[in-house]
């Protein structure tokens, strides 16, 4: 079994952002902003942190990006769902291939403001603010694309979990998943009627 490195701090549903930060030696690490605290992880870029978290939930970053492309056609700077059941939707601020790429949690954004020098300021629901060296228009575009992707994926999941069977055979098959004896019971009942 392949073992993956587990960073000392994980990305969770409480994570607001994973921001690229350069240390005094010029190496890129990750500053993880949670609702109540911050952590610095040296040696791992934000994109690598996101990839490890995706792997924890059974996929890798590339697979999540391909899923986004298949669902809504977004191919560049694709937003991803690390885990849709817990609301972990993140988007990259620039190309994930760039080590300076940061990742923002869509679920925690209250609003985006224009800032000086063509920058954007993200205001989170808990009042924390994050200034990004990315244009306001680019961040707004990422927020909107993530909302579109989120809506489409959530619609698929609702359809999957809440759609009633369309015919009796589907009902029997669905019931057999819950109770393996139900198909046997249905067959016995059918044979008695003959």
The per-residue pLDDT for range 87-104, each reduced to its tens digit, is 999 999 999 999 999 999
40 neighbors 70 (Cβ within 8 angstroms): no
Res 163: pLDDT: 60
How many Cβ atoms are within 10 Å of 106's Cβ, its own excluded?
Answer: 20
Give the mean pLDDT of 168-187: 44
Q: What are phi and psi of 103, to 5 degrees?
A: -125, 135
Give the mean pLDDT of 71-92: 95
Terminal-to-terminal C-alpha distance of the chain: 53
Is the pLDDT reported for residue 193 higher than 70? no
Closest CA to 130 of 26, 38, 40, 54: 38
Closest CA to 108 of 35, 19, 58: 35
Q: What's the token pair of residue 31?
A: 């500053």
DSSP string, 67-132: HHHHHH---SS--EEEEGGGTEEEEESS-TTSTT--EEEGGGEEEEEE-STT-EEEEETTS-EEEE
SS3 content of the chain, % helix, strand, coil (to 5): 40, 25, 35
The per-residue pLDDT for range 15-32, each reduced to its tens digit, is 999 999 998 999 999 999
Closest CA to 85 of 177, 174, 9, 150: 150
Model confidence band, residue 7 (pLDDT cutoffs 50, 70, 90):
low
pTM for this one?
A: 0.79
């Amino acid at each position: 079994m392949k073992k993956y490195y587990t960073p000392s701090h994980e990305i969770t549903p409480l994570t607001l952002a994973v921001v690229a930060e350069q240390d005094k030696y010029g190496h890129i690490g990750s500053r993880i902003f949670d609702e109540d605290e911050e952590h610095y992880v040296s040696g791992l870029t934000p994109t690598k942190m996101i990839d490890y978290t995706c792997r924890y939930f059974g996929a890798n970053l590339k697979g999540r990006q391909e899923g986004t492309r298949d669902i809504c056609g977004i191919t560049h700077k694709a937003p991803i769902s690390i885990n849709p059941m817990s609301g972990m939707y993140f988007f990259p601020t620039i190309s994930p291939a760039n080590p300076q790429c940061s990742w923002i949690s869509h679920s925690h954004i209250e609003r985006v403001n224009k800032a000086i020098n063509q920058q954007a300021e993200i205001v989170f629901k808990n009042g924390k603010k994050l200034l990004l060296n990315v244009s306001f228009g680019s961040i707004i575009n990422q927020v909107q694309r993530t909302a579109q992707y989120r809506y489409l994926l959530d619609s698929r999941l609702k359809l999957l979990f809440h759609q009633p069977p369309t015919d009796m055979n589907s009902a029997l098959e669905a019931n057999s998943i819950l109770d393996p004896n139900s198909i046997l019971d249905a067959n016995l009942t059918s044979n008695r009627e003959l």
